[in-house]
């Protein structure tokens, strides 16, 4: 089963996660899409989707 995680996090947290993945050479097992604010999340996830 495939999983996608939608999160609302700040830029600092996103960059820290990227740096961690870059240093260890692997990413998390699940796909992740992060948004800076809940408003941006809802702008993308409209009823048409």
Question: What is the pTM assigned to this prediction?
Answer: 0.68
Task: Supply the pLDDT for residue 38.
Answer: 93
How far apart CA 35 and CA 9 sit, in angstroms, is: 6
Looking at the domain assignment, is residue 9 inside a domain? yes
Task: Supply the pLDDT for residue 34.
Answer: 92
Task: Supply the pLDDT for residue 40.
Answer: 92
Q: How many CA atoms lie within 13 A of 3 on its CB side?
A: 5
How far apart CA 30 and CA 35 sit, in angstroms, is: 16
Give me the domain span that covers residue 19. 4-44
Q: Taking all residues of the chain, what is their mean pLDDT, rounded to a whole number?
A: 87
Confidence of residue 49 (pLDDT cuts 50, 70, 90): low
Q: In the chain, how many domains are there?
A: 1
Looking at the domain assignment, is residue 16 inside a domain? yes
Report the SS3 class of residue 45. coil
Task: Supply the pLDDT for residue 1.
Answer: 58
Looking at the domain assignment, is residue 49 inside a domain? no
Looking at the domain assignment, is residue 15 inside a domain? yes
pLDDT tens figures, 24-44: 988 777 888 999 999 999 998
Q: How many CB atoms lie within 10 A of CB 14?
A: 15
């Amino acid at each position: 089963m495939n999983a996608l995680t939608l999160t609302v996090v700040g830029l600092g947290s996103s960059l820290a996660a990227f740096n961690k993945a870059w240093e260890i050479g692997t990413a998390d097992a699940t796909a992740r899409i992060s948004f800076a604010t809940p408003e941006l999340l809802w702008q993308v996830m409209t009823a048409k989707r």
